Chain A
């Protein structure tokens, strides 16, 4: 298997957390992977994009026109990184309903106003990353891991907050199915 995922967001949204979850998913199944993370300056609310390449790869960076999936935790951060997604790939993005969203040429596309849902108290904003992962699980038909594998990875990351994260993941998957 070869599957390349870009996760785009900004500092503080927990982009690196998702890389770790996907890395554990791959590791648990004994599949090789290479990921790359942003540390340092990007902590301060700046753009953060992390790559994870699942399968036999020799460098951790995703080049343009190569990614199978992009999970965008915010609209503009998704648009900023579009060049990395191949046309047969899937984009799942958080974007406000009221904002205009451009027509895009990708095979897979799904968006949701996760900010609005968090504002309404449907899930805590700190769980936005996990929420968008759940949303991607439903909307990317080629997603390389099963729901259970993702849940196991979340549990082994941090057992203390796993329960809450899994609730968010389930909710996102329900929301994704409803909005389909």
Chain B
């Protein structure tokens, strides 16, 4: 059956067609849609499937892994940095293995589109000694999802699928199974303490030996089932061989065709473990072998030989995502192409265009809260550690000093409070990130009496990745305030107000409490997400703003500290509010403008907006 699908949709269908009935994970671009689409298929076809988010990637992985131990076919989904969080579980699971197939999906983001690192999950698979599959297109993603589940069940080890953003978010016509005959495995945990409860050194050492043997067997399997036929297709009349992994294949094929060049091209579907000897044997008939892969030299390092070129020989780009221009340059570097760069920008088209970085949405309560925090806790005397989420965009307001990884705001607040005690440390973290990995460092701060302020911004959704449900909103009302109180400290609570003075007054009170505190001062600010169709309407006052041009003195306060997207200077040098963008939150009417130039636009709705 032909279907137009995005890569992540294709993966979701692949899971269902592989009879996977337990999917767990944590949202993160570019992986988030996979689990959501499984949920949609589940409801559409009325399937009995567990497809739910975990509180973090480690939890997600472990839920799915236990399912696979009990014989189910399972899957854990996450983005590449999420795999760092799940890595502790993965490293051991790679020794112990599983009975039902388990596919670990780690979606990479070459080019840093929405990630803090460009790490290569294939290298992580190699580190963990599990096989990894690298799709080049959504069709590959569908096929390899099914293949990976089978492979995992065959070799009793988790198998990784590593799609990159240009696969997850690519769209094409997919050929998929005609019908969905969903027949999941029956789950039954069979006690096997030496295996599932393997202890060092007695049980883990033999598992380690098995792991080494298994990898050798999978290498052979890779050659016999995937790679040999690829090499056999090469006619050997060309002098250059290009070894590609994932998207490298599609980019290489097009570049060759655009440049009218001929080379043999091998598509590596399983970049680890590689049957190195068999491959090297085939390299002999070529002058040069170029490896095209992203983002790290995973294949290249395994097959290194004197005539193999790639990132480590400085023949192709080492950072940033794939492009045909980079492949063209690599062809030039290895002396395979001597023509012009057909992908160059004509110099006449190099315009300076003002950057348009992502910003907090118009009407987002985070903006007002950060505004209030910087009003009360002055920059010179404060340090503002923050975390991963929408609120990271408050960087533009000058309200954030450090970003590391999920949950780090809290532990870094501890560290800053010790190392620079003269400043007030005001850390911010969202509710999703607090549940994900903010609780353990807060316990640490109470445990060690670290004096800082932690502001938990509770909008009750995982907003940045598409508003997935947070733990607090699903089954029970898991209350952040009670979690904090359970640590034996008070939790101050504030309900975000569109009247800015209320927010400022609250943080003044926080400042007072903090002055007398000996340990952490924790506050939870109850907010909402403006994109949350369920909750936002009850909070938005529909107070639309306009500018009184007589009052605007072009002082830049609103464009530098408040930073609401509809506000911009017009040709007369006066701030104007873009009526298409104003969300009607009323947040700017109070305090924000020193001359009170923002006034309510009473006719806004009457004008048919």
The answer to whether B323 and A39 have CB atoms under 8 Å apart is no
The answer to whether B169 and A61 have CB atoms under 8 Å apart is no
The answer to whether B359 and A37 have CB atoms under 8 Å apart is no
**Which one of A36, A38, A125 has the greatest number of beta carbons of chain B within 10 Å?**
A36
Chain A residues 1-57 with CB under 8 Å of chain B are 10-11, 19-20, 23-24, 26-27, 32-47, 52, 57
The CA of A82 and the CA of B438, in the complex, are separated in Å by 44
Known A63-B325, A64-B325, A76-B354; judge A45-B565 contact (CB<8 A): yes
By a CB distance below 8 angstroms, the chain B residues around A167 are none
The CA of A26 and the CA of B113, in the complex, are separated in Å by 28
The answer to whether B171 and A36 have CB atoms under 8 Å apart is yes
A-contact 0/1 string along B42-57, CB 8 Å cutoff: 0000000000000000
Give which listed residue, A23, A24, A40, A58, contacts B137 with CB less than 8 A.
A58
Known A65-B344, A66-B343, A82-B351; judge A44-B361 contact (CB<8 A): yes
The CA of A77 and the CA of B351, in the complex, are separated in Å by 11
The answer to whether A105 and B571 have CB atoms under 8 Å apart is no
- Chain A nearest CB, measured from B28 CB (Å): 9
The answer to whether A76 and B169 have CB atoms under 8 Å apart is no
- Chain A nearest CB, measured from B548 CB (Å): 20
By a CB distance below 8 angstroms, the chain B residues around A63 are 323-325, 343
The CA of A24 and the CA of B359, in the complex, are separated in Å by 31
The answer to whether B4 and A24 have CB atoms under 8 Å apart is yes
Does B29 belong to the interface (CB within 8 Å)?
A: yes
Main secondary structure of the interface of B (DSSP, over half): loop
Chain B interface: which size bin? 35 or more
Give which listed residue, A23, A34, A45, A77, contacts B361 with CB less than 8 A.
A45
The answer to whether B325 and A61 have CB atoms under 8 Å apart is no
The answer to whether B345 and A65 have CB atoms under 8 Å apart is yes
CB-nearest residue of chain A to B579: A119
B-contact 0/1 string along A71-114, CB 8 Å cutoff: 00000110110110001000000000010001011000000000
The answer to whether A44 and B254 have CB atoms under 8 Å apart is no
- Chain A nearest CB, measured from B565 CB (Å): 5
Does B349 belong to the interface (CB within 8 Å)?
A: yes
**Which one of B2, B351, B358, B464 has the greatest number of beta carbons of chain A within 10 Å?**
B358
Does B498 belong to the interface (CB within 8 Å)?
A: no
Known A44-B361, A105-B346, A121-B608; judge A33-B172 contact (CB<8 A): yes
The answer to whether B247 and A41 have CB atoms under 8 Å apart is no
Does B348 belong to the interface (CB within 8 Å)?
A: yes
Does B251 belong to the interface (CB within 8 Å)?
A: yes
The CA of A77 and the CA of B4, in the complex, are separated in Å by 27
CB-nearest residue of chain A to B467: A43
Does A118 belong to the interface (CB within 8 Å)?
A: yes
By a CB distance below 8 angstroms, the chain A residues around B254 are 57-59
The answer to whether B465 and A40 have CB atoms under 8 Å apart is yes
By a CB distance below 8 angstroms, the chain A residues around B351 are 79-80, 82, 102
The answer to whether A118 and B580 have CB atoms under 8 Å apart is yes
By a CB distance below 8 angstroms, the chain A residues around B360 are 44
Does A144 belong to the interface (CB within 8 Å)?
A: no
**Which one of B4, B32, B254, B349 has the greatest number of beta carbons of chain A within 10 Å?**
B349
The answer to whether B359 and A82 have CB atoms under 8 Å apart is no
Does B6 belong to the interface (CB within 8 Å)?
A: yes
Does B66 belong to the interface (CB within 8 Å)?
A: no
Chain A interface: which size bin? 35 or more
The answer to whether A61 and B166 have CB atoms under 8 Å apart is yes
By a CB distance below 8 angstroms, the chain A residues around B2 are 27
- Chain B nearest CB, measured from A98 CB (Å): 7
- Chain B nearest CB, measured from A59 CB (Å): 3
By a CB distance below 8 angstroms, the chain B residues around A26 are 173
By a CB distance below 8 angstroms, the chain B residues around A38 are 113, 169
The answer to whether A36 and B170 have CB atoms under 8 Å apart is yes
The answer to whether A59 and B173 have CB atoms under 8 Å apart is no
By a CB distance below 8 angstroms, the chain B residues around A10 are 356
The answer to whether B114 and A40 have CB atoms under 8 Å apart is yes
A-contact 0/1 string along B209-251, CB 8 Å cutoff: 0000000000000000000000000000000000000010111
- Chain A nearest CB, measured from B265 CB (Å): 10
**Which one of B4, B171, B390, B571 has the greatest number of beta carbons of chain A within 10 Å?**
B171
The answer to whether B29 and A39 have CB atoms under 8 Å apart is yes
By a CB distance below 8 angstroms, the chain B residues around A105 are 346, 348-349
CB-nearest residue of chain B to A37: B169
CB-nearest residue of chain B to A104: B349
Chain B residues 551-586 with CB under 8 Å of chain A are 565, 571, 579-580
The CA of A27 and the CA of B325, in the complex, are separated in Å by 29
The answer to whether B169 and A46 have CB atoms under 8 Å apart is no
The CA of A83 and the CA of B348, in the complex, are separated in Å by 10
Known A36-B166, A41-B114; judge A60-B345 contact (CB<8 A): no
The answer to whether A64 and B356 have CB atoms under 8 Å apart is no
The answer to whether A35 and B137 have CB atoms under 8 Å apart is no
Give which listed residue, A37, A39, A83, contacts B349 with CB less than 8 A.
A83
The answer to whether B346 and A76 have CB atoms under 8 Å apart is no
By a CB distance below 8 angstroms, the chain B residues around A61 are 166, 251, 322-323
The answer to whether A44 and B358 have CB atoms under 8 Å apart is yes
The CA of A43 and the CA of B361, in the complex, are separated in Å by 9
A-contact 0/1 string along B340-384, CB 8 Å cutoff: 001111101111011111111100000000000000000000000
Known A39-B29, A44-B390; judge A34-B169 contact (CB<8 A): no
By a CB distance below 8 angstroms, the chain A residues around B345 are 64-65, 83
The CA of A65 and the CA of B354, in the complex, are separated in Å by 22
Known A59-B247, A105-B346, A121-B608; judge A11-B571 contact (CB<8 A): no
By a CB distance below 8 angstroms, the chain B residues around A37 are 6, 169-171
CB-nearest residue of chain B to A103: B348
By a CB distance below 8 angstroms, the chain A residues around B30 are 39-40
Known A40-B464, A59-B251, A83-B349; judge A32-B172 contact (CB<8 A): yes
A-contact 0/1 string along B513-556, CB 8 Å cutoff: 00000000000000000010000000000000000000000000
- Chain B nearest CB, measured from A139 CB (Å): 20
Give which listed residue, B32, B349, B358, B579, contacts A45 with CB less than 8 A.
B358
The CA of A33 and the CA of B355, in the complex, are separated in Å by 30
- Chain B nearest CB, measured from A168 CB (Å): 15
The answer to whether A64 and B170 have CB atoms under 8 Å apart is no
The answer to whether B250 and A58 have CB atoms under 8 Å apart is yes
By a CB distance below 8 angstroms, the chain B residues around A87 are 346
For the complex of A and B, the 8 pairs showing the least CB-CB separation, nearest first, are A40-B29, A59-B250, A46-B358, A58-B250, A44-B358, A83-B345, A60-B170, A40-B114
Listed A/B pairs (21) with beta-carbon separation below 8 Å: A10-B356, A20-B171, A23-B171, A27-B4, A39-B29, A39-B169, A40-B30, A44-B390, A46-B358, A58-B254, A59-B251, A59-B322, A60-B137, A63-B323, A63-B324, A64-B325, A65-B343, A76-B354, A80-B351, A83-B346, A105-B348
Task: List B residues at the A interface (Cβ < 8 Å).
Answer: 2, 4, 6, 29-30, 32-33, 113-114, 136-137, 166, 169-173, 247, 249-251, 253-254, 322-325, 342-346, 348-351, 353-361, 390, 393, 464-466, 531, 565, 571, 579-580, 608
